Structure 1
Amino acid sequence: MSSQTNVNTSVIEDFELNYESSYKFENTIDLNKFELIMTLGQGSFGRVLLVVSELDKQNYALKVLDKSQIVKYNQIRHVQSEIRILNAIKHPNVILMYSLFKDNSYIYLLMEYIPGGDLFNYIKRFKVFQEHITLFFAAQIVLVFEYLHFFDIVYRDLKPENILVDIHGYLKLADFGFAKRIQHRTYTICGTPDYFSPEIIQSKGHGKATDWWTLGARMLISFY
């Protein structure tokens, strides 16, 4: 996975990779100890791979972030924030980050593998959900938001593509790239335009309420 880059990535070498954590693996993992199975997803700054560890023979999702692209698109703070938040939180409806390591070109996040895929594909397949399923899904998101907001963390990018479904039908919130710890208000315009709350569109500043608006006014409509 190594490659050369013409972009000076030294500005992101201060990522907090070594804070106290209960990582499943050490942050000096040898990538040769993982067998690549397939690509699960592709994004602007990297991709997510399905890998199998030789250490325990378990499946994992390996999120590979390209340092040069992070710098090019000025996403350093977003990536730093995602790493800190995933390392700090633990909730049954939030995807787990098991370990974090890096080389000269990439940052690697070893994540929990959720084989059920994302909620967007379920919506495409079933078109609408029965009421009890909608309530079941919505309740899980409510629990996650209550947990995050207790720690002043605002998610800011709720959409079906960021919600994974495990083999038992429970949800796992993923992709914390736009999540941020906000005690009052912030004026950053970020997220997915189709799911922007009015205060983000109007640049009036936003806080925790933006998550609730997205859930109520956008997500539940897609469920029905």
Structure 2
Amino acid sequence: MNKQTTLDFKFVKILGEGSFSTVVLAFSVKTHIPYAIKIVEKSHVIKHNKIEATMREKDMYSMMSYELIVKLVCTFQDANNLYFVLNYCHGGDLYTLLNHHKLFTVDVAQFYLAELVLCMEYLRSTNILHR
């Protein structure tokens, strides 16, 4: 993906919010492909001394290439924000899925646990530590 700006995307809705960022569903204006764009306020990063942690997060996303882990497509910035363009997972995350179903059957729980173990093995093999 070439150098991007906010004008290259149509921002549709908020998918989630954290203490340092907001994740928004956005579509590429050119291709109409959906993305999850993590928006991080620069002033918040600076105020809370999170510059190094934010750079590590970008580096970590860039290093990962595993089908069970969301992929970083590109990053860009403007005067106020940093943007992490990630592949959009149509089904949401495991937390959302569990909230929707309230309870997993044993078979479903075993399936997701096995996928989590595979992800952890991948992270360990690439020397990425997961808290």
Shorter-chain TM band? over 0.9
- Report the counterpart of residue 55 of structure 1 in structure 2: 30
Deviation by residue 1:171-221 (Cα, 9 ceiling, x = unmatched) = xxxxxxxxxxxxxxxxxxxxxxxxxxxxxxxxxxxxxxxxxxxxxxxxxxx
Going by fraction, where is strand more abundant, 1 or 2?
2
- Sequence identity (%): 28
Query: Is contact 2:5-2:76 (8 Å) kept?
Result: no
| Consecutive unaligned residues in structure 2, runs of 5 or more | none
Q: CA RMSD in A?
A: 1.3
Q: Which residue is 1:99 aligned to?
A: 74
TM superposition shift of 1:126? 2.5
TM-score (norm 1): 0.56
Aligned pairs for 1:89-168 (under 5 A) are: 89-156=64-131
1:47-71 deviations in whole A, cap 9, x for unaligned?
Answer: 1111111221111111111011011
- CA drift at 1:30: 2.8
1:125 Cα deviation from its structure 2 partner: 3.1
Task: Give the gaps of 5 or more residues in structure 1.
Answer: 1-24, 157-224
Tell me: CA distance 1:89–1:124, structure 2 relative to 1, closer, same or farther (3 Å): closer
What TM-score does the superposition give when structure 2 sets the normalisation length?
Answer: 0.92
Write the distance in 1 (CA, Å) between the matches of 2:96 and 2:26.
Answer: 22
Larger radius of gyration: 1
Tell me which residue corresponds to 2:59.
84
Take 1:88 and 1:98, find their aligned partners in 2: how far apart are those partners?
A: 12
Partner amino acid, structure 1, of 2:121: E
Q: Which runs of 4+ in 1 moved over 4 A?
A: none
Amino acid in structure 2 at the alignment position of 1:155: H
Give a deviation string over 1:57-87, Cα, whole Å, max 9, x none.
1111111110110111122222111100110
User: How far apart in 2 are the matches of 1:51 and 1:124?
Assistant: 24
Equivalent runs, 1:1-224 vs 2, <5 Å:
25-26=1-2, 28-156=3-131
Q: What CA deviation, in whole Å up to 9, does each residue of 1:126-170 have, x standing for no partner?
A: 3321111111101111111111111221110xxxxxxxxxxxxxx
Aligned residues: 131
| Distance in 2, Cα, partners of 1:44 & 1:112 | 21
